[in-house]
Every structure is written in C-alpha cells, then in structure tokens.
Amino acid sequence: MQKSISYSQTEIIDSIRILYLQGNQIELDPMYSKGSIYGKGSGPVYKLDLAPMALDVEVGNALSMRFEAKTINSMILDPPWLIHAEGSKSKMGNRFTTLPNKDSLVYLLRGIIKEAARVLKQDGILIFKIQDTIHNRRKLFLSHIVMSLAINAGFNPLDEFILIAKSRMRSKSQTGCISNASHSWHCSFIVFRKKKSRTLQDITSARSRNDQ
C-alpha cells in the first residue's frame, strides 16, 4: 500500500512510479538541479537544467525544450517558488533561485505547464512538486494555482502526495516576521494525466448520442 504522506522525497517518487508509471523511470526532468529527489537507480532518462551541476545533465529550459510534440511518456516539474527572498540575510534566497514578484512566478508556472502539455503524449503523466508560501503576510496557495493552470492546459488531476519537512530553513529576515497565515512545513507532489484531445469526430459522436 502506497502512503500519501512521507518524510522522504524518494519514497514519494517511488510510490508514484509504482502507481502511475508501472514501476518505470520518470522519462524527463527539465529542472533536475542535483537530482536529490531520486533514489539510487531511479533517476530520469532525460536530465535537463538551465545550469547543469553534473556531466550527465544537459543544458535545457523547461519553457522551451528540444523534444518534439507528444513524444514524452512522463515528466516531473520542480520549479523555484520563492518570491523576492534574495539578500545576505536570506539563507533560502542565497541557496535557491527566486522570482522578483508573484506575476513572474505565475508566468513561469503557466509557461512550463504549457510546454509540458506540448511534449507529453496523450495520457502522459505530469508530476508537479510545489509548496504553498507566505507572500505579503498572506498565504499564497501555489498548489491551487498549479492545479488551475494544469486543468486549463488539458490535464486531469489524479493524486497528491505530501512531503512533510523534518525541519524548516528560516532566514534572519523571516525570524519574528508577523504574518496572517501559517507557515507551510510541507510541499505537494501533484500527479496529472494529459487528457486526450477531442477530435471533430468525437464531438460529432457525442452530439449524436445526446440527440438520441
């Protein structure tokens, strides 16, 4: 039985592979970074990153990939989600890529989901890792934004796995910060399936059935 909650990213990835990929590897990770979410021997077939950290990772942009349309069976997206966290006092801002504002983040999310819809085959699987955060002292539900963007791009949500943090990195600038919402100690791995495009014949057949 596969659990929906875990302290281990590797365990979550393995559960997704068992449930939705027939135990196969994820085919594509265009935001590979160091590949820390994968266990031994379970990494993706294609590893891409804007700034590769290993020789077996090729340069690539998740917004515009080299793959032809409808050629990939499965992929994972793990985008940056921090907004304006740079600065010498921010541990997270110095360690991870940040976005200047909310609009830039939503633009990125929309773009990579659109590109995923292009390269994935019909019924292809998209895994999306995302974390809700605090922005302007309020909760920013990035998981909800991703869900909406993915559905609009032609994906059906299948499942969600929750990674619980054992500890949470806090910057000096965040310490004592007053907000009107809780700070997230978890992130989500949301699993989507690309819906089959409806052809004119499909639409005509559906209308015929409704008329009977």
pLDDT averaged over every residue in the chain: 82
List the domain range (segments joined by +) for residue 148.
Answer: 5-211
Sort 81 into a burial class: Cβ within 10 Å, 0-12 / 13-18 / 19+: buried
Q: Provide the whole-model pTM.
A: 0.81
Whether residue 204 is predicted with pLDDT greater than 70 in this model: the reply is no
Question: What is the tens place of the pLDDT at every residue in 11-47?
Answer: 999 999 999 999 999 999 999 998 988 877 778 999 9
Give the model's pLDDT for residue 39: 77
Higher pLDDT, 11 or 83: 11
Give me the mean pLDDT over the 67-75 stretch. 98
Which CATH number covers residue 71? 3.40.50.150
Give me the mean pLDDT over the 87-112 stretch. 69
Residue 128: C-alpha distances to residues 16, 54, 69, 122 (Å): 11, 23, 19, 17
Total domains in the fold of the chain: 1
